[in-house]
Structure 1
């Protein structure tokens, strides 16, 4: 996947000291998630529906984070 035109957005919940930073980007019919400290590192790729479910579970406390 060519990421040269991808616009990454940092999570509003990321800490200001860059210790826990998550970025997301929307590409076609997928959502990409990465650790902003490792821009060339692995990405999690999921559908928009799966991403909405993940965010919902995080907000409701449904995950042991």
Structure 2
């Protein structure tokens, strides 16, 4: 899995604001993979999703906010 994350470019949402570091970072620059991690624990575990699953999740989250 670590090889899959080489070259990852992490970013935070522009909507995350100043939450004292309590947010997630996402990387969408990897072919066929979207990676997500806790911004407070950048060396900790990373979740990965197929891009279509990530798009579905984001759309659903937007309907709840």
TM-score range, shorter chain: 0.7 to 0.9
| Aligned twin of 1:28 | 31
Q: Which runs of 5+ in 1 are unaligned?
A: none
Secondary structure of 1:60 counterpart: helix
Q: Which runs of 5+ in 2 are unaligned?
A: none
The answer to whether the aligner puts 1:8 opposite 2:6 as a matched pair is no
Q: Would the aligned equivalents of 1:30 and 1:46 in 2 still touch at CA under 8 Å?
A: yes
Secondary structure of 1:37 counterpart: coil
For residues 18 and 35 of structure 1, the distance between their equivalents in structure 2, rounded to whole angstroms, comes to 12
For residues 17 and 58 of structure 1, the distance between their equivalents in structure 2, rounded to whole angstroms, comes to 18
Q: Would the aligned equivalents of 2:27 and 2:36 in 1 still touch at CA under 8 Å?
A: yes
Equivalent pairs, count: 62
TM-score (norm: length of structure 2): 0.79
Alpha-carbon RMSD: 1.8
The answer to whether the aligner puts 1:53 opposite 2:45 as a matched pair is no
